[in-house]
Structure 1
Amino acid sequence: MTRATSTVVDVTVFLLFVGAAVAVVVNGTAVEGATAENPATERTELLATSTASVEYALAPPSDPPPWTTNATATHQRTAHGTLAELLAEAAMSRVRFEGHRLSRAGVGFERAVATATRNRLHERGRRTAVRARWEPYRGAPLDATVRVGQRPPPEADVDAATTTVASPSPAVGERARSAAPGGYRGVATVVAGAVVEGLFPPRQAQLALDGDYPADRLMTHRYRRMGSLIRAGRLSVESTPTSELNTELTSPLAERFTADMRSRFDSPEAAARAVDTGNVTITVRTWEP
């Protein structure tokens, strides 16, 4: 199935544009763990097929510029999609590096998606927990996760099912495996390029930087925050094209991934097999209280 992309890649530009929800594709037709006796299957399929609209407000850093009129109104947004798509967006809104968030601009969106999910999945006599998670490779220091509902207690008899939604980053598993003969650095460079492309799509990022408040401020903050987290130094965001900014981010991120892969995997081939940049995995667990 082909991977769809939205006109503005809303999640990677952290929900900047009015009504521009990500048009991702739920991968495949089957839900992993699906059986007639598994109540989590129905919950997972509901997420993949049930649509919702959520209203939220962006949270730009610092105060608006003094010349901006009616600044609060420019923060209001609406997103529409399946619950699975919205959960994937909410997860990507929470991208972290070594536990530190890249941006808090989408906090209101994350809360709205969590509320919509809880309301849709509520069922008398049964508890449900949902986790949407993205890892460019297993155990990566950069990841994204959103949870809805409490974790099941250790003694509970839990049923589980999963499905996947395309992430904003391209799937590069095959390229990573082809790069494995070049060592950990070769694999890490492929993964870092895909991550940066997904989090900072050059065309959309440039539109945001050249746009009005709050898009310009949010994207500037996003670039500088990423540069700080991965020790890329202070980026000259105002005077550098996004294609060059992305190159400045990719190299130090590849260095961080290289060191992590070397400590985590027995070989570059094993690291390459763990790459999954292209999917957000949604796991549903259900149990009786």
Structure 2
Amino acid sequence: MTSTILDGVFCLLLVSAAVVTVTTATPREPVGEGRAPDVASTVATTTAAVNYTLAPRFDRTPVEGPESDAFARTAHGTLAELLARATVGELTVGGQPLSRDHAGLSRAVVRAVEGAVRTNHTRITAVWRPYPNASVTGRITVGGRPPPDVPVHTATLTVSSGFPTTRIDARRAGATNGIAGVADAVAAGIVEGLFPPTRTRLAAGERASSLVRHRYRLAERRFGVDGHTTLSDGDVDAANDRLAAALSDRVARDLRGANVSASTAAERVGVGRVRIVVRTWP
């Protein structure tokens, strides 16, 4: 999938008024309620393009609105890749959304999936759970629940979340510092995924700098950071370190609540992946 600086940095802040185009070679018609592996194959191989316009919402901080076509964007990839992107866009912290305005892209992706898969007897659930017992998660669902007392067939896909793969770092940190080390590695990976340093520095120096500050403040509130980041000197690394330190405390509490060893927690770290489960029934 391609994206601009603003796409990568602000996808969780922005509501998108979207038009969806689905491209697939076979089948031309939406896949019926077939076996779960067939539907999973369609999700993994069908490509789609989602055209949308970034439309920032106002919060406690002022955000400049889009001008002309400057905020028009296109995201494309397989349906599985788009589901993964939308899932991370639905990130919540302790059950509260990181941003209040993240539904536009998700709705567009759901429509794209529904254009390729009949969902009468199909439910597709994509989940981003970056570590055991996580209170920082993302989730998106297409289709209704199966009725009780019917046989349900299941197939599973694993797709990149677009965030760093942190399991190796978590293993090393866990071997040295236990659960606290695993939490540090996980938190650093999540913050890097939300605020990629290079792209964030570029965006902070452009007219979208108010959006950068706005999004940092949303993250600070959710992660429990004292004070606010000004980014007046463009020090993205320092701002990210503050977010990661606060988030690490939350992650460590969650991991201790999971009652697992540091080595087990590290092996179950999944910051870099989204799990997509397809369920079908007669």
The TM-score with structure 2 as length reference comes to: 0.83
The residue type paired with residue 226 of structure 1 is: A
Counterpart contact for 2:157–2:275, Cα < 8 Å: yes
Other-structure match for 1:207: 202
Give the whole-Å Cα distance in 2 for the aligned partners of 1:280 and 1:9.
22
| Corresponding position: 1:230 with 2:223 | yes
Aligned pairs for 1:1-289 within 5 A: 8=5, 10-14=7-11, 39-62=35-58, 65=64, 71=67, 73-122=69-118, 127-181=121-175, 182-212=177-207, 215-239=208-232, 240-288=234-282
The letter of the residue matching 1:174 is: I
* Aligned counterparts of 1:5 and 1:73: Cα–Cα separation in 2: 17
RMSD: 2.5
Unaligned 5+ runs, structure 2? 15-33
> Once the two structures are aligned, what percentage of the paired residues are identical?
39
Q: Whole-Å Cα distance in 1 between the matches of residues 170 and 37 of structure 2?
A: 32
Q: Distance in 2 between matches of 1:82 and 1:266?
A: 35
Residues 269, 109 of structure 1: alpha-carbon distance in 2 compared, 3 angstrom cutoff: same
Tell me the alpha carbon deviations over residues 212-254 of structure 1, each in whole angstroms, 9 at most, x when there is no partner: 2xx4333222211111111112322331411111011111111
**Larger mean Cα displacement after TM superposition, 148-157 or 44-53:** 148-157
Displacement after TM superposition at 1:145 (Å):
0.8
Whether contact under 8 Å (2:63, 2:214) holds in the other structure is: no
State the alpha-carbon separation in 2 of the partners of residues 237 and 148 from structure 1.
Answer: 39
C-alpha separation between the residues in 2 aligned to 1:224 and 1:269? 33
Deviation at 1:85, TM superposition (A): 0.9
Distance 1:276 1:83, change over 3 A: same
Are the equivalent residues in 2 in contact too, given 1:95–1:143 (CA < 8 A)?
Answer: yes
Normalized per residue, the structure richer in strand is: 2
Matched AA of 1:204: R
**Cα distance in 2 for residues equivalent to 1:230 and 1:263:** 18
Cα drift, residue 55 of structure 1: 2.1
Q: Distance in 2 between matches of 1:211 and 1:132?
A: 34
Q: Find the aligned partners of 2:9 and 2:154 in 1 and give their Cα distance.
A: 29
Q: 1:219 to 1:104 in 2, by over 3 A?
A: farther
Instruction: Determine the C-alpha separation between the residues in 1 that align with 2:139 and 2:84.
Output: 9
Verify the 8 A CA contact 1:90 1:110 in the aligned structure 2: yes
Partner residue of 1:33? Answer: none
Deviation at 1:77, TM superposition (A): 2.4
Whichever residue aligns with residue 204 of structure 2, its letter is L
Q: Is the 8 A contact 1:172 1:276 kept in 2?
A: yes
Distance 1:5 1:61, change over 3 A: closer
How many residue pairs were aligned?
Answer: 258
How far apart in 2 are the matches of 1:222 and 1:8?
A: 14
Report the CA distance shift for 1:248/1:184 in structure 2 as closer, same or farther (over 3 A): same
Paired with 2:258 and 2:87, the residues of 1 have a C-alpha distance of 24
What SS is found at the alignment partner of 2:56?
coil
**Could you say which residue in structure 1 is the equivalent of 2:27?**
none
Structure 1 residue 53 displacement after superposition: 1.1
Amino acid aligned to 1:232: V
Mean CA deviation greater in 221-230 or 174-183:
174-183
